[in-house]
Amino acid sequence: MMVKGSMFRAAGLTVVMAIALSGVMAGSAYAAYDDMDAVSLSKKLVGHDFTAGEQTIAKGFDASGLNYYVYKMLDYKMPRALNDQYNMNKPLIKSLSSVIEGDVLFFGKGNTPSSSGIYIGNGKMVMASKSKDEVVTYSTSTFSNEFIGARRILTANDQLRTKLVLEAQKYLGTPYVFGAKYGQTETFDCSSFMKWIFSQYEISLPRVSRDQALEGKFVSKSNLDTGDLVFFTTKDSKGKIGHVGMYIGDGMMVHTYGEGGVKYSTIDSGWWKEHYVTARRVID
């Protein structure tokens, strides 16, 4: 079943989202940033140098340079100057309590911004801090008295994909039990986990992975976006689909199977690469 209401396109984004993959990918791996979301990318830049007038991995970032870099990597057009970013033709969010993940927050006086950050959820933002001389994570409450507004850059689809990954993240480590009863969250099997996560955002999926593989529309492995369902055979499925996970970008999925329960796994190497079957897009 396709998503109800107004949903979104991720401009090539596939969310490695808020999954606490700590550290920064180096070298050519940065070329894969179009497979990520703004929250994940922002978090990966924490620790990089603050450098006035710069917007690159090699030289560092200033406040507007960080915004410019993140959204440029995600194929969003954004002006370079802080004041121009604040005046972009994007929805203006006037209350700090109303911001959502991916919003660019501006701080200053009146209509003149002096600094900014990218909201990553849970009352936190990533910003290039001159005083700290690096990209850091701050509580938004630190600057609440200076908040002058936020611009919502991400589309509705970007926001939904982000929320799905954040929802799945809540259950990391939840035990795997084959045939787990749907509707409770003490245990999951692969398809009950997917059905539960998507149901939190009014996306209805069948209970069994083989039936879930008939939902939405086919998407090739080379064109996966965050939120796409990815399907595999297992040692017990006799060559048929027997497992499902949710793609989260950067060649990774979140799923549950065997020891460790809900976890992140790569689909680009090892067992899951060898047993990959297909993918379906139910967000459109």
Return the closest-CA partner of residue 119 out of 159, 156, 87.
159
Q: Which amino acid is at 239?
A: G
**Cα–Cα distance between 186 and 115 in angstroms, integer?**
43
Q: What is the DSSP letter of 49?
A: B
Q: Is 190 a catalytic residue?
A: yes
In the chain, the N- to C-terminal Cα span, in Å, equals 10
Q: Is 275 a catalytic residue?
A: no
Task: Calculate ∠ Cα 44-105-71, nearest 5°.
Answer: 50
Task: Calculate ∠ Cα 38-131-62, nearest 5°.
Answer: 40
Which is the catalytic residue, given 164, 190, 248, 253?
A: 190
- Contact at 8 Å (CB) between 262 and 174? yes
Residue 124 structure tokens: 């936190």
Contacts of 275 (CB under 8 A, 6+ apart): 232, 233, 234, 243
For residue 196, the tally of other CB atoms under 10 A from its CB is 19
Q: Is 175 a catalytic residue?
A: no
CA distances from 5 to 89, 201, 284 (A): 24, 10, 10
Which is the catalytic residue, given 152, 195, 243, 280?
A: 243
Residue 149 structure tokens: 């507004």
Q: Which amino acid is at 113?
A: P
Which is the catalytic residue, given 163, 255, 275, 280?
A: 255
Residues carrying an active site annotation: 190, 243, 255
